[in-house]
Amino acid sequence: MSFARMKRFLVPLFVFGFCLLGLLTGCSLPQVSAQDRLFLPLSLEWVGEVTLPKQEFQETTVGGLSAIAYDRQRDRLYALSDDRSFHGPARFYTLNLSLDPFEIDVETVTALKTPEGTPYAEGSLDPEGLALTPNRTLLIASEGVANQQIPPAIAEYDRQTGQWLNQLPIPQRYIPDTSGKEEQKGVQNNLGFESLTTNPIGLVPTTGEPLRVFVATEAALIQDRDPEVKELVKTRTRWMHYLLSEGPPLLVSEHFYELDTPEPDILSQGLTEILALDEPGHFLTLERSFNGSVVTAKLFQAVTGSASDISNVSSLQGNLGELKPIRKQLVLDLAQLGITLDNLEGMTFGPHFADGSPSLILVSDDNFNAYQKTQFLLFRLLTMDSSREG
């Protein structure tokens, strides 16, 4: 028998014998669960934090930073203020940053402009979500103002001038209906489109992978809440997937995402950010809770591949039968950092570290409150391979 034929014979025999030995001795080969195969092998390493000083900048109050996006070509951060034009016009800031040492400062401010080219009137826009497109424009999600029947919106703006360019279609089920004494449907007041992200490899027009846009509500729609349950329970938020190509924007699918069941003392809880990973259908999500005095937050990896499309589901109340939510896995409970967390709402990948590993940056919304702060948190994103190399 040749060596090659002998090898083909002996290798399976060896494996069989090893497995049989494992059965006899109580040992077993390493098992990879379906759960582990579904999620990417990643973790986060805590690097540090920095607080942006309270300040006035070009006749605006710097604060309310609810979303951030990193422009790799310019090596700058864009930070969206959720100010409804009360402390200056609706706007975003351009920030300088460095990782070593970790420092951030304000460079410029850009006012957002309506389709007519004018600043937004007070109370007419609640900007919360931010994403950069390959065309170097900015997508901005507004929660709207439900109690004033101002609908939520997702619009595209010129990065340099802040001028409104285009708008994505919003399904009617998200539009507030206050025709009665109470809202009948739509986003809850101040709990609308909080999270916004795009696929990292999007190209417009379609010379390659088209631009995909993902947006999620902070909490359940009015019609998705169970009216019989008064206490805070596991919330089902809606998550939409748009495709932007050469034609009009297309809503491809819609899923639901379940927040963790809150602790008994939690007063408010929400999905405050989503961030697309390089692997299609994989995301990081940021969940934040508040008990009246302490903010808690968790980062999860979320996977949409096996989630049910709920585009035709009118309500998410009660037992959903065979409908499947977006799957998620805990990456980091920020309580483990041992620091005081503020109102964390924004998240983006930043520059790479000197060793080539990606950075992840979180930011808090200080609500223009003297007792809160604009807190930036810096992490190193590690995969299984990079963690072994370290």
390: how many CB neighbours lie within 10 A of its CB?
A: 10
- Name the average pLDDT for the chain: 88
- Compute and round to an integer the Cα radius of gyration of the chain: 23
pLDDT of residue 136: 85
pLDDT of residue 93: 98
Nearest Cα to 211, choosing from 250, 240, 254? 250
Phi, psi dihedral angles at 20 (to 5 degrees): -65, -40
Angle at 267 between CA 263 and CA 273, to 5 degrees: 85
Averaged pLDDT, 37-65: 96
Q: How far apart are the first and last CA of the chain?
A: 45
Q: Give the three-class secondary structure for 87.
A: coil
CB 253 within 8 A of CB 268: no
**How far apart, in Å, are the Cα atoms of 75 and each of 69, 349, 352?**
11, 12, 11
Task: State the Cα torsion 239-245-247-248 to the nearest 10°.
Answer: 30
12: how many CB neighbours lie within 10 A of its CB?
A: 9
Residue pLDDT, tens place only, 205-242: 445 578 999 999 999 999 999 776 655 567 999 999 99
Distance CA(168)–CA(140), nearest Å, equals 10
Paired with 80 in beta bridges are 67, 92
